[in-house]
Amino acid sequence: MSAALDQDGFKATAEGSPRRPFRLRYNAAPGADMVSVARQPSSVRRRRLLGGLAAGLALMGCLYGGLCWWAAGQFYSPWRYPRGDWAQQRALGVRDVWLTAADGVHLHGWWRAAPANRFATLYLHGNGYNVTTRADHIRGITAAGSDVLVIDYRGYGKSDGRPSERGLYTDANAGYRYVVSMGKPVIIQGQSLGTAVAVDLAVRRPCAGLVLEMPFTSGRDIARRVSPLAPLVVWGFDSRAKISKLRAPLLIMHGDQDQMVPFSMGRELFAAAPEPKQFWTVPGAGHGNLVQVAGPAYAERLRSFYETLK
């Protein structure tokens, strides 16, 4: 026989025993609009979804900010004053130079000159230490026949501020203006991180020549060697994209035992540069000891390069 519902909503089975039917239960006040009640669960889910997305985006923002902070720490390792051997200033025969960058940051550098020198070099050091660790470069460059200004980027040595890619480019401009004011042909020279700053400056400002020690192709290429995630937050210092615009003679020096910036990167950047250009391999030199391993040949090679310049 067909089943029927009793007044309490139970369905009778063929044997006459009641069975409670399946019901969709909800809480609603008496007389509530059934359409609005039916829609309530989807609006709640939507709010929860939007809340989850907002929390996820906030977490991603924190992670991205943390990665950016970490990446900046990998690129900049400054020694602030008084760290370093500042007492060697007199023995080196250098004098203090104080500069003001275009954005008002005060910078410090060391300047060494000789009347017989034909050129004036702006030397842009690597990501670590400060001017006090560049004594061998100062001696080698002046022995080769060039005056030299070594500046400390913002946040390094006695310079104010904090380092950044744009800040380093601004600091290089300030150093360049000072060297130009000396009235001699200008050579721009960079080492390690400073090679990217030097390339950027040399393609924007006239110079007699460009010297790069242990150059890398781009910040992203270096970051990829540190962590697979690093290229997500590092994309600047792209010398490979800029060097084709160079309109000055180029000398690249690179040690064949460099474990930090691979020798192959120096060759790759050299291949991307226009003529005239020279590449000098320093056998046995690593990343931080090229001048020491090269010995007197360092100044000799620079002097040979200077002789080709107008």
Q: Would you say residue 61 lies in a domain?
A: no
pLDDT tens-digit map of 2-40: 444 444 443 444 444 445 544 444 444 554 454 444 455
Confirm whether 264 is a catalytic residue: no
Kindly state the percentage of the chain with pLDDT values over 70: 79
> Looking at 152, 171, 221, 258, which residue is catalytic?
258
Place of tokens 């180029």: 250
Single-letter amino acid code for the residue at 196: A
Q: Would you say residue 292 lies in a domain?
A: yes
Single-letter amino acid code for the residue at 26: Y
Confirm whether 287 is a catalytic residue: yes
Q: Would you say residue 214 lies in a domain?
A: yes
Q: Would you say residue 4 lies in a domain?
A: no
Residue partners of 167: CB distance under 8 A and separation at least 6: 101, 103, 105, 153, 154, 161
Place of tokens 């760290």: 83
Q: How many domains does the chain have?
A: 1
Question: What pLDDT shows up at residue 3?
Answer: 44
Q: Would you say residue 48 lies in a domain?
A: no
Q: Would you say residue 139 lies in a domain?
A: yes
pLDDT tens-digit map of 158-186: 999 999 999 999 999 999 999 999 999 99
> Looking at 146, 159, 192, 239, which residue is catalytic?
192
Q: Would you say residue 172 lies in a domain?
A: yes
Confirm whether 192 is a catalytic residue: yes
Select from 188, 116, 177, 181 the least CA-distant residue to 148. 188
254 against 222, higher pLDDT: 254
**Whole-prediction pTM:** 0.80
Which structural domain range is residue 196 located in?
A: 77-307
> Looking at 108, 137, 254, 287, which residue is catalytic?
287
Q: Would you say residue 89 lies in a domain?
A: yes
| Domain CATH number, residue 216 | 3.40.50.1820
pLDDT tens-digit map of 80-130: 999 999 999 999 999 999 999 999 999 999 999 999 999 999 999 999 999
